[in-house]
Homo-oligomer: A and B are copies of this chain.
Amino acid sequence: MTRSEIRELFAVLERPEVISLAGGNTDTSIVAHRIEECVHATLARNSAEALGYGIGEGHARLRERLVELMSLEGITAQPHQLVVTDGAQQALELLAKIFCEPGDLIITEAPTYVGALGAFDSFQADVRTVATDGEGVIPEALVERLEAIGAEGRRAKFLYLVPTFQNPSGITLAAERRGEIISICRQRNVLIVEDNPYAQVRFEGDPVAPLRSLTDDGIIYLGTLSKVFSPGMRVGWVLAPETIRERLVLAKEAADLCSSPFTQLVAAEYLGSGHVPDDLEMVRKVYKERRDAMLDALDAYFPAGTTTRPPEGGLFLWVTLPAPIDTKAMRARALEGGVAYVSGTAFHPDKRDGRRSMRLNFSYPSLADIEEGMHRLGAVAHEELDFARSLDDSINDGKA
């Protein structure tokens, strides 16, 4: 997203008549009462620690809880291997900082997480993409891409992946491809950055083991509590091989000395409360209903030729509209029509791509807002299509 697009989005959020399907917020009302309890417990027991400076790598108590959380996904790690960051976004920034001189290569999926592109661009990295299909990154395409880079006499700093419920596409890298991707990268000495914010938000289907659970070699793993706790607490972390972890701690200290010990201790309190499994159950139930409502509305209100791939989890639907609709051009008219979304172009390193797609968030809006927002958006898409076709007709008439 460009600056003006973000600005526009936030301006929208201040207009209550506009329904936003644009952000990446979760429904924090599910956990708000727990957070209140955890805040009070933290201030009652650990006020001085919570309100003072902490260490760069993060509070030991939080890191212990995060190790437990990762073990639920089959990841074996030790607290001393972690660095706590302000959301996974800061981890991306710090990785770009320690790895990238201007022009250095990073490989991503396309589309990919807009915030990762923002962090990589800010260090002037050269982002190349690897082809994907409905099963995620195509191993042969990855080999080809790495060989092409090798033929330039260069080497990629890392491959950045969101393997499960990818943002924005919702696609999960197939279990049977994961080992192959790992060995392709290992053979060529390319690190993998595995960004895994959504795996715990699975509504259906079998869990797929994270890459980091298959090997601890050559994987930098990023986690966040933004999806299962609260984005506003800004708690994320990196699990990295020792030499990289050390450099990350130094970079973290230069960046902001430490993450807030207060929010870290509140997060540790929450993770240790025993409520996480129940809360996650509720999150999954609520988001599944909302996803289903959004899929139903897509069927009901959008033009023929609109496609999507129902994701088994996560927060987003990635929708592609029939040609010649341009979702970036349509955005302004959608806002006039009272609904906001993010155009597909934001998620492509080459901003000319993704013009027919849009990312729609179903985790934050209520069922009523999903119904009404999709109704509005479908109407705008219909008008857009009718207008484009009438233009085509008049061009054809002109020719005749």
Contacts and interface: CB of A to CB of B under 8 A. Distances in A.
A86 B261 CA distance: 12
Given A52-B231, A93-B255, A97-B122, A47 B23 contact: no
Interface in A2-46: 3, 6, 10, 23-26, 28-29, 31-32, 35-36, 39-40, 43
Given A90-B256, A257-B89, A232 B53 contact: yes
Contact of A51 (B48, B233, B253): B233
A251 interface: yes
A32 B52 contact: no
A216 B257 CA distance: 28
Interface in A30-76: 31-32, 35-36, 39-40, 43, 47-56
Contacts of A85: 256
Contacts of A257: 87, 89, 115, 234
Q: Considering the complex of A and B, which 5 residue pairs feature the smallest CB-CB distances, nearest first?
A: A28-B51, A122-B254, A86-B256, A51-B230, A51-B232
Interface string A295-322: 0000000000000000000000000000
A390 to B, nearest CB: 39
A272 interface: no
Contacts of A234: 256-260
Contacts of A24: 53
A130 B28 CA distance: 51
Contact of A255 (B230, B255, B258): B255
Copies of this chain per assembly: 2
Contacts of A6: 56, 253
A121 B48 contact: no
A54 B226 CA distance: 13
A119 interface: yes
Contacts of A263: 260, 262-263
Contact of A32 (B3, B47, B53): B47
Chain B CB count within 10 A is highest, among A6, A56, A85, A230, for A230
A222 B118 CA distance: 25
Contacts of A50: 232
A114 B232 CA distance: 30
